[in-house]
Structure 1
Amino acid sequence: MRTIKNNYKSLFVLLVSLAITSCSNNEEGDAWAGLEDGKSTVIRDLAGDTNGSMGEEAEGKTKRGFDTFLFRFSDKKQIWIRNAADSAQYLKTKDWDIAFTGPYNSEIYVNKGSYQFNPGYGGTASSAVVRIDRPYAEVNTAASDEDFAASEINKIGWAFNDSADGWFFYSLDTHLMMAIKNRTYLIHLPDGKYAKLELINAYQGNPPTVTNLNWPAPYFTLRYYVQNDGSKNLNTK
């Protein structure tokens, strides 16, 4: 295994060699068992920038950063930001809901034009996100407007401790990354609607474990529900 130079290099080692523990209701032979509830949108194997690499010797790849992509809940549209023209066309608009950035696209932002490090900085979107440590299926109501306004969550990525807001844990000792169970994100979207989001996996096929050093990543499994009537009812049972 190549030398780990910093925390992000550690994340690279993890994403090419180890497992994300996904939902507890996965069953052998059906990687997505239990995710469908008849209301939520389940996204399977949403491909990130699979050509990026943080390693010196990744076979068939050049060491470089990972292109950001935007995602829109309403129609599952994926928008790539690969150059200045893409940035000018899309970033400062309300046409996207979340952005996948950083190493292996693992750092996620909601569309918030007021935050200087947000991909949409300077735009008109005023999204907000609230973390709630409860199972997705048990989250039935969006946060209050006061809670959204008071939220200081700006990025959802690596959770360095139990109180951090990220969607996965990572151990520098074991080089093991685990999606955080029973963690749901409530989002006030750019169009004013309310949604809930669960981030589940970053490996192709949503495997419970990864045994192959070249297991394809990033391929995201996630699910979300948007309440289209404008209310805060997020019941998906």
Structure 2
Amino acid sequence: MNKKLKSALLFSLTILCFSSCTKEQVKPQLEDGKSTIIQDLAGDLGASMADGIDGKVKRPFEDWYFNLRTKEQLKDTLKHAKTMNWDIGFTGIYNSMIVVNNGANPKSPGYGGQGKGLIIALEKNYAEVIEAPSLEEMKTKNLSFVGWDAYPQPDNRGWYFYDMKTHISVAVKGRTFVLLTADGKFAKLEMKSIYKGNPVTVSDLHWPAPYFTFRYFIQEDGSRNLNTN
């Protein structure tokens, strides 16, 4: 093999390696050996904000609940609302508002039940959240719901930004939610995307949604230790 051919081959391999490494950096690995990864969990796919959009119907989006421990999605919200069967609920437009199961909070669907759910926002990357705040602090900073970051709510701590021009939602980076499950266990949650495939970039309004990708970790021993490193 002559020197020119060797140089060309080496250059090509270098470019391929750089391209591969760049892609991995753009879309980081979610697996850490401890967290639960949920990919493309479908919300209410038949509803829309207007008629005639991708064959959908203009109507309110049906709420649904999710059990973090069993990874079960519960659609019959009237049946399960005041039970301990769920930890977080997806409600509102495109199911983008997240609520927790709290029997003492009038703004929670679980109001009147036994749920102990709480949720707060920390301005930290998921891996950096190694301990939950105290129960007292979580009660003080508890959010009524988590959704659009610009939407009026206590401390304005949503999980996504919504662009009024493009009408595309992008998950807030560097923000992790610490929560208390319905049965009182500490956990952490990172929302990644509302679009199918958890794309790096969403280019148009017709990207399939709502399909939720997120990861979470529950500390089963009852302590505040949330280290997943």
Regarding TM over 0.5, the answer is yes
Gaps of 5+ in 2: 1-20
Partners in 2 of 1:52 and 1:197 — Cα distance? 26
Q: 1:117-142 CA distances to partner (integer Å, 9 max, x unpaired)?
A: 32212212121112100000110001
2:189 aligned partner, one-letter code: L
Distance 1:120 1:32, change over 3 A: farther
Following superposition, the deviation at residue 148 of structure 1 comes to 1.4
Following superposition, the deviation at residue 66 of structure 1 comes to 0.9
Match of 1:16 in 2: none
- Kept in 2, the 8 Å contact 1:31–1:206? The answer is no
- Kept in 1, the 8 Å contact 2:36–2:216? The answer is yes
Percent identity between the two aligned chains: 45
1:94 aligned residue (81, 84, 94): 84
Match of 1:57 in 2: 52
Matches within 5 A, 1:94-133: 94-133=84-123
Return the index of the structure with the highest Cα Rg. Answer: 2
- Kept in 2, the 8 Å contact 1:170–1:177? The answer is yes
Q: Going by fraction, where is helix more abundant, 1 or 2?
A: 2
Following superposition, the deviation at residue 27 of structure 1 comes to 6.1
Matches within 5 A, 1:19-98: 28=23, 33-81=28-76, 86-87=77-78, 89-98=79-88
- Kept in 1, the 8 Å contact 2:42–2:212? The answer is yes
Partners in 2 of 1:164 and 1:210 — Cα distance? 24
Partners in 1 of 2:62 and 2:191 — Cα distance? 19
2:132 aligned residue (124, 127, 142): 142
Root mean square deviation of aligned Cα: 2.2
Q: 1:138-175 CA distances to partner (integer Å, 9 max, x unpaired)?
A: 10001111111212411000111895111012232454
- Kept in 2, the 8 Å contact 1:113–1:122? The answer is yes
Following superposition, the deviation at residue 94 of structure 1 comes to 1.3
Matches within 5 A, 1:148-187: 148-160=138-150, 163-173=155-165, 175-187=167-179
Q: Partner of 1:158: helix, strand, or coil? A: coil
- Kept in 2, the 8 Å contact 1:35–1:42? The answer is yes
Q: 1:164-216 CA distances to partner (integer Å, 9 max, x unpaired)?
A: 11101223245443211010011111212110000110100000112344221
Partners in 1 of 2:223 and 2:138 — Cα distance? 15
Gaps of 5+ in 1: 1-25
Match of 1:224 in 2: 216
1:215 aligned residue (193, 199, 207): 207
TM-score (norm 2): 0.83
Q: Which runs of 4+ in 1 moved over 4 A?
A: 29-32
Match of 1:10 in 2: none
Q: Partner of 1:28: helix, strand, or coil? A: helix
| Structure 1, 147-156 or 39-48: larger mean CA deviation | 147-156
Following superposition, the deviation at residue 113 of structure 1 comes to 1.8
Distance 1:185 1:217, change over 3 A: same
Q: Partner of 1:94: helix, strand, or coil? A: coil
| Structure 1, 37-46 or 168-177: larger mean CA deviation | 168-177
TM-score (norm 1): 0.81
Q: Partner of 1:178: helix, strand, or coil? A: strand
Following superposition, the deviation at residue 30 of structure 1 comes to 10
Q: Partner of 2:37: helix, strand, or coil? A: strand
1:45 aligned partner, one-letter code: D
How many residues are aligned here?
A: 207
